[in-house]
């Protein structure tokens, strides 16, 4: 692609509860819909903004209708129900037509002005995927930030991929990569895991996060825990291998206990109490077995969702309105 030809960028924004924040964010994007030059001299233009309505609790549907009527570069995609942020992002990626696809949140933390810097990182090193790398703590509060760091560290070490701990919802993705992933990624697959499957060159661009606009967080700690668990299940088979290792250590541990008990019995050093040690050992290994079966069952559930053809999302021709309040 010639450098003189502006890079066309599609912005995908999953919309859940954005009736108060989205208009401000769109206003910030408006200047980028005219041909721009990045700090490193790369020409680009935002050719479209895809607003994916994920059926949240507020009247974001009315906001989307107003914005798409006002700004011709914006387009609403209506999902039939709430599918979650990653599925909504996939739906937008499937409809994107740009050379690059930028995904970003609705809450205003991420500044559209940083898109030019992310494009420079991609062009300079021929990258296919660029993640924003915040240089300041996310404005979520210390408790959520702490658990987020712990979860990313655990997933990075457990899954053997340090890049996993540096993912971010503010991404610049090659258009071909984004559309291919949206077309073939099965239900239940974590978005960033799918990107790692098909992306060879990944980079990180330093940015500074802003405070959230007038909007409460759409994620509870339970939902965040669900995202973390889905990440673990869809990344690979290493957790299953860890269960195998745990089982092997359990067998060795059991043999050591048996050897010790037999030694105590035949040397008559101390009397061996039967029921206490039996109950303890049985309870311990029963817990190991149940834990292993539980994780295997989770893997089977993910596999069944893919094999049975459960759709990742369904696009509707009309917005799904929230139920009227009584």
Question: What pLDDT score does 156 carry?
Answer: 64
Cα–Cα dist 240/20, whole Å:
44
Q: How far apart are CA 324 and CA 188, in angstroms?
A: 31
Q: Of 217, 176, 215, which is closest to residue 195 (Cα–Cα)?
A: 176
Per DSSP, the three-state class of 151 is helix
C-alpha distance from residue 193 to each of 170, 189, 200, 235, 251 (Å): 15, 7, 13, 6, 33
Give pLDDT, residue 2: 45
Q: What is the pLDDT of residue 231?
A: 66
What local confidence, expressed as pLDDT, does residue 308 receive? 47
> Residue by residue, what is the 3-state secondary structure of 202-267?
EEEEEECCCCCCCCCCCCCHHHHHHHHHHHHHHHCCHHHHHHHHHHHHHHHHHHHHHHHHHHHHHH
Q: What is the pLDDT of residue 36?
A: 94
Question: Exposed, middle or buried: residue 271 (CB in 10 Å: 0-12, 13-18, 19+)?
Answer: exposed
Low-confidence stretches of the chain (pLDDT < 50) are 1-2, 276, 308
Q: What pTM was estimated for this model as a whole?
A: 0.74
């Amino acid at each position: 692609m010639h450098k003189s030809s502006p890079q066309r960028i599609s912005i995908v924004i999953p919309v859940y509860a954005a009736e108060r924040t989205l208009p401000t964010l769109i206003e910030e994007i408006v200047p980028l819909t005219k041909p721009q030059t990045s700090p490193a001299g790369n020409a680009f233009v935002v050719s479209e903004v895809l607003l994916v309505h994920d059926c949240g609790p507020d009247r974001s549907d009315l906001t989307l209708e107003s914005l798409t009527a006002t700004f011709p570069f914006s387009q609403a995609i209506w999902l039939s129900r709430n599918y979650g942020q990653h599925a909504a992002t996939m739906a937008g990626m499937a409809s994107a037509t740009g050379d690059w696809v930028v995904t970003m949140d609705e809450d205003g933390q991420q500044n559209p002005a940083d898109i030019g810097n992310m494009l420079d990182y991609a062009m300079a090193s021929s990258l296919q995927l660029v993640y924003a790398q915040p240089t300041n703590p996310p404005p979520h509060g210390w408790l959520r930030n702490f658990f987020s760091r712990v979860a990313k560290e655990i997933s990075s070490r457990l899954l053997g991929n340090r890049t996993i701990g540096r993912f971010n919802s503010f991404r610049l993705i090659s258009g071909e990569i984004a559309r291919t992933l949206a077309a073939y990624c099965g239900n239940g697959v974590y978005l960033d895991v799918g990107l790692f499957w098909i992306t060879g060159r990944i980079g990180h661009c330093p940015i500074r996060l802003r405070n959230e606009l007038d909007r409460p967080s759409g994620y509870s700690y339970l939902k965040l825990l669900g995202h973390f668990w889905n990440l673990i299940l869809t990344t690979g088979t290493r957790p299953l291998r860890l269960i195998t290792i745990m089982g092997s250590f359990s067998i060795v541990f059991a043999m050591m206990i048996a050897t010790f008990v037999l030694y105590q019995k035949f040397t008559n050093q101390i009397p061996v109490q039967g029921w206490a040690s039996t109950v303890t050992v049985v309870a311990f290994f029963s817990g190991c077995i149940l834990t292993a079966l539980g994780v295997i069952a989770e893997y089977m559930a993910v596999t069944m969702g893919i094999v049975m053809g459960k759709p990742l999302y369904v696009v509707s021709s009309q917005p799904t309105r929230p139920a009227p309040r009584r």
